Amino acid sequence: MCGGFRAADAGTRVRLGGWIHRSRDLGGLLFLDLRDRSGLVQISFDPRWAAPEAIASASSAGAESVVLIEGEVALRPPEGRNPEMPTGEVEVRATSISVVGPAETPAIPVSLGKGEKLASEELRLRYRHLDLRRPELRDNMILRHELYQATRRYLDEHGFLEIETPILTKPTPEGARDYLVPSRVHKGEFYALPQSPQIYKQLLMVAGFDRYFQIARCFRDEDLRADRQPEFTQIDIEASFIEPEDVYRLTEGLIAALFRVAGLSVPETFNRMTYADAMETYGCDRPDLRYDLKIFDATEMVRAAEFGITRSAIEAGGRVRGLRIPGGASFSRKQVDELEAIAKSAGVAGLLRTKRLSGALDGPLAKHLPAGAADSLAIAEGDLCLLAAAPDATANPALDRVRQEVASRLGLAGGANSFVWITDFPLFIRDGASGALGSVHHPFTSPHRDDLARMEQDPENVRALAYDLVLNGTELGGGSIRISDPRVQSRVFSALGISESDAQERFGFLLEGLRSGAPPHGGIAFGFDRIAMMLAGAQSLRDVIAFPKTTAARALFEGAPSAVADADLAELHIRSAN
RNA sequence: GGGGCUGUAGCUCAGCUGGUUAGAGUGCCGGUCUGUCACACCGGAGGUCGCGGGUUCGAUCCCCGUCAGCCCCGCCA
């Protein structure tokens, strides 16, 4: 392998295959950098050891052509060594070369020449076979492979069985849109690609496979982002007779094993935070805890103030909460306006601003505050304080975004990785528009035992046995203890407004399973691609997936999706609307 | 579904207030060159200015539409 040669290999006769990465023709003397998946090595052609025909052949071979080289590994002359290259001590003195895979001039550069920049992402995706040759993407794929292996090794060692579940499954009316697959045999009927193997893994528990895992491909037909692909990979885990604590302990070990692959260490155990605390203190359920910047409540301090904005917000049932920004008093008017614009785009009417200079607070609100307000609100000299007077439902996302923007401006997010388990999610969430209850996680999530009694009267305050693992503001994975008691499952369906017959039609095979002797069970799923992206230091999921889709869910290399012939549709009992 | 940015040579980009022959770097082709490694030097070829329409004496440039890529909101149990 090209990248592995060292000084100790000098004298070895070798036969090497690889791609011409770059060549330097000095006239009578010629150098090639030969590349394979292991790296680069310099091949030298000199009349002292290479026949004239070999030199001519090497000289005319184009970049990215595949060649076979015969020669001998030799130490380079001392002045010709290259400390920048792992193989820089040596070169292969070629005696023959044969061009076995001539290449046309590459459509996009693989090795970047003088002043050259990376081709646009559109072209990189169209010519993916070339882009994947670049060392950066090659290394990402190798890292990904090692993450697969570490996952399998760790879970195998902990007694988990790898079991595959179907790709052709049943459409689910809830959740994300399904990718549908028409049935040829059954006119007018459809399979769906799985959004996750959720129900199958629960049935595997019912079947007695008490520890299951799968590196599972999942499909969701929703709009994309830099960190969202329509098909993606999860590390899917489920086990019987376990509690949340068991899941935490098991998967902290798994995450440690995965981070070790990238040479990173992680804490022995991860911090915990309840959903309620996360929302109260950070305004979101996946806080970035690399920096402090906590949201605080100033409602009591301003309650008595004769100030219209805060007064009406409080009377309407809202609160006044905000952020103290250390040193923020030096922000320009324009900078603060930008922060306010971010908050407004998240739904609040505006931000109240006050800063502490020379001991006192300024701003329109300040004169309505009691003496000593700055101290009791812990606003320090030089701080800027931004307040949102609104119901939590709008203030939380607004303050969350302002918090992130401030952290990015002040460069606060550079510290050590910060893992945190978010626990005690609510079981239900009420849809603002329709007023209907929906599942926060999914309808099979177990309510907290202590909250079972209030399921019917006070469903919005029922906690779920659900948890997410968050790293630096990104959700790495999430899961729950599932419902294993069919009576509890019925009550949850009923709270969700799913009738007995609906439930039977949609999830009948799971309900039958629960009635036939179901162990208590639960699990978790991790976003494999996101973990790979983080560990690779990549900016986009597309850089850790061999053949990704564009933001419009197209595959540019193969041209999918594409139209099909009417005859093919007819066989599937389908007609295009166009 | 909505908003923003981008589209000019194989690749990366520049192109002034709308004006004669659309430029640069790199790659490619030809030549010189015996220790280069982003080799160096000399010469050359290479353009549907994404596509369609409009305004104008005249459009790469202004307007409308459309396609594609990227980013964001909605969406993603």
- DSSP E strands in A89-210: the ranges are 90-101, 161-162, 180-182, 190-192
Using a 7 Å CB cutoff, list residues 172-191 of A near strand B: 172, 174-177
Closest CA to the C1' of B41: that residue is A26
Using a 7 Å CB cutoff, list residues 84-103 of A near strand B: 84-85, 88, 91
Pair A470, A477: CB distance under 8 Å: no
SS3 of A441-467: the string is CCCCECECHHHHHHCCCCHHHCEECEE
Residue A114 beta carbon within 7 A of nucleic strand B: yes
Which nucleotide is closest to the Cα of A40 by its C1'? B37
Q: Alpha helices, DSSP H only, in A27-110?
A: 52-60
Closest CA to the C1' of B31: that residue is A27
3-state secondary structure at position A25: strand
Using a 7 Å CB cutoff, list residues 16-35 of A near strand B: 22, 24-29, 31, 33
DSSP code of residue A269: S
> How much is the ipTM here?
0.93
Using a 7 Å CB cutoff, list residues 194-213 of A near strand B: 195-196, 198
3-state secondary structure at position A4: helix
SS3 of A530-575: the string is HHHHHHHCCCCHHHHCCCCCCCCCCECCCCECCCCCHHHHHHCCCC
How does strand A231-240 pair with strand A271-274?
A: unpaired
Distance CA A337, CA A331 (A): 10
Instruction: Give the bases of strand B that a protein CB approaches within 7 Å.
Output: 1, 10-13, 25-29, 32-40, 68-77
Residue A339 beta carbon within 7 A of nucleic strand B: no
Specify the pLDDT at position A200.
96
Distance CA A470, CA A274 (A): 12
Which residues, in sequence order, are bridge partners of residue A325? A384
Residue A165 beta carbon within 7 A of nucleic strand B: no
Residue A104 beta carbon within 7 A of nucleic strand B: no
A460: nearest Cα among A499, A421, A431, A493: A431
Sheet of strand A161-162: strand arrangement: A161-162, A211-219, A231-240, A521-527, A474-481, A466-471, A419-423, A271-274
Residue A558 beta carbon within 7 A of nucleic strand B: no
SS3 of A281-321: the string is HHCCCCCCCCCCCCEEECHHHHHCCCCHHHHHHHHCCCEEE
Report CA A450 to chain centroid distance, whole Å.
Answer: 33
Specify the pLDDT at position A578.
61
Q: Model confidence over A140-189: pLDDT tens digits?
A: 999 999 999 999 999 999 999 999 999 999 998 778 999 999 999 999 99
Q: Locate tokens 């459409």: which residue?
A: A171
Distance CA A305, CA A516 (A): 62
CA dihedral A365, A369, A374, A379 (to 10 degrees): -40
- Side chain identity at residue A131, one-letter code: D
Which nucleotide is closest to the Cα of A218 by its C1'? B76
Which nucleotide is closest to the Cα of A222 by its C1'? B76
Q: What are the φ/ψ torsions at residue A140 (nearest 5 degrees)? A: -60, -40
Which nucleotide is closest to the Cα of A42 by its C1'? B37
Residue A482 beta carbon within 7 A of nucleic strand B: no
Which nucleotide is closest to the Cα of A27 by its C1'? B33
Which nucleotide is closest to the Cα of A345 by its C1'? B73
**Cα end-to-end span (Å), chain A:** 54
The residues, any chain, with a CB within 8 Å of residue A558's CB and separated by 6 or more, are A547
- Distance of C1' in B16 from CA in A405, Å: 37
Residue A108 beta carbon within 7 A of nucleic strand B: yes
- Distance of C1' in B32 from CA in A26, Å: 10
Pair A296, A324: CB distance under 8 Å: yes
- Distance of C1' in B73 from CA in A497, Å: 30
Which nucleotide is closest to the Cα of A440 by its C1'? B77
A74: nearest Cα among A99, A95, A105: A95
CB-facing half-sphere around the CA of A440: CA atoms within 13 A: 25
Using a 7 Å CB cutoff, list residues 383-442 of A near strand B: 438-442
The residues, any chain, with a CB within 8 Å of residue A37's CB and separated by 6 or more, are A1, A138, A142
| Residue A157 falls in which region: left (phi positive, over 0), alpha (psi -120 to 50) or beta | alpha
Q: Is the pTM of this model over 0.95?
A: no
Residue A112 beta carbon within 7 A of nucleic strand B: yes
3-state secondary structure at position A141: helix
Residue A42 beta carbon within 7 A of nucleic strand B: yes
SS3 of A311-348: the string is HHHHHCCCEEEEEEECCHHHCCHHHHHHHHHHHHHCCC
Which residues, in sequence order, are bridge partners of residue A447? A464
The residues, any chain, with a CB within 8 Å of residue A511's CB and separated by 6 or more, are A486, A489, A503, A504
- Distance of C1' in B43 from CA in A380, Å: 70
Helix H or strand E encompassing A121:
helix A121-126
A489: nearest Cα among A515, A467, A471, A527: A515
Q: Splitting chain A (578 residues) into consecutive groups of 10 residues, what average pLDDT does each group show?
A: 94 96 94 96 96 94 96 95 95 96 95 85 96 96 98 98 97 88 96 95 97 97 94 98 97 98 95 95 92 90 79 85 90 85 83 86 80 82 90 88 88 86 94 81 95 93 96 94 95 92 89 95 97 94 96 94 92 85
Residue A223 beta carbon within 7 A of nucleic strand B: yes
Residue A222 beta carbon within 7 A of nucleic strand B: yes
- Distance of C1' in B59 from CA in A554, Å: 33
Residue A57 beta carbon within 7 A of nucleic strand B: no
- Distance of C1' in B16 from CA in A225, Å: 38
3-state helix, strand, coil in chain A (%, to 5): 35, 25, 40
Specify the pLDDT at position A23.
95
3-state secondary structure at position A493: helix
A521: nearest Cα among A244, A240, A243, A250: A240
